[in-house]
A = this chain, B = another copy of it.
Amino acid sequence: MSETPVRQSLTERLLAGDRRALARAITLVESDDPRGWELVREVYPHTGRAAMIGLTGAPGAGKSTLIGALAKLRREQERSVAVLSIDPSSPFTHGALLGDRIRLTEHFLDPGVFIRSMANRGALGGLSEAALQAALLMDAAGRDDVFLETVGVGQAEVDIIDHADTIVLVLMPGSGDSIQALKAGVMEIPDIIVVNKADHPLTDTMVREIKSVLALGAVGHGHDDAFWSVPVIKTQAHIGEGVAELVAKLDEHRAFIEAQGTLSERRRRNLRSEVLSICTHRLRRQLEARIEGDPRFQELLDEVVARRLDPASAAGEILGRLES
């Protein structure tokens, strides 16, 4: 006399917050399965509620440990959490960043914390596109906080970080390159800066250095939140030190951008650029599919290699043929 359970659709289960449905949905998106895109289309009206927090910084700065500590605190506040780690390491060193992910294991058994990582499969724009869809799915599944973890050195094509509402740069004492990049304006000023591993003797020197860089940029650092004073927070993520202060600043920043209207401005700008990026990515894929194995393309390329035809003219010929 067992009851026959009503078989729910993946969409329904996802919207109900089912972890397995969320995992399955992300796999569909990641493998570029049309059902994944269809799913995102269906659940999209239920997105926009999660706080999207991007954490970036060089490998080794302790981003994963910090996210683990943040997740713990958010769970104590009875908020549900999702973590999306973008791993841009090359296929040849695959798993190099896995050590980081292991630091999140204490949450593996808590259904309130959903953890997923995505590796770069070399497709230009593809990873970023898939990652954004995954973040939307996490949002639709009712996660209150979505943490997006990316490596912020030399991988600008993974620009998922731009879709975060709040961007946190995680540094550690001795990470001179990132400071130099901030100073030179090569790296954008984030919303919050964390100096992790703050038991290091050079911590205060680094905090001073960061503050002087921020002071330099105070006139106009290209940020739309003109009156948000970027806080510099010292943490020791492995023992939870400073994490409560970081959570408070995350909430403060969220309240600030909501009050100023910059949250919706930022989201509009990001969504515009996302739509254009998806278009561009698809155009490039169409282009590659059309020239793949096309002997005329190989001939053009041979001409370019032989220095008889320049790259721009070759591009012009290819585009001309596509249009005709």
Contact = CB atoms under 8 A, between A and B. Distances in A.
B301 A271 contact: yes
A296 interface: no
Interface size class of A (residues with CB under 8 A): 35 or more
A45 interface: yes
Given A310-B136, A315-B275, A151 B184 contact: yes
A177 B172 CA distance: 9
Contacts of A151: 181, 184, 186
| Majority-rule SS of A interface residues | helix
A315 B282 contact: yes
A59 B181 contact: yes
A304 B80 CA distance: 25
Contacts of A274: 311
Interface string A287-311: 1100000000000110011011111
Interface of A: 37, 40-41, 44-48, 58-61, 88-94, 96-97, 129, 132-133, 136, 151-157, 172, 174-178, 180-181, 183-188, 216-217, 220-222, 264, 267-268, 271-272, 274-276, 278-280, 282-284, 287-288, 300-301, 304-305, 307-315, 318-319
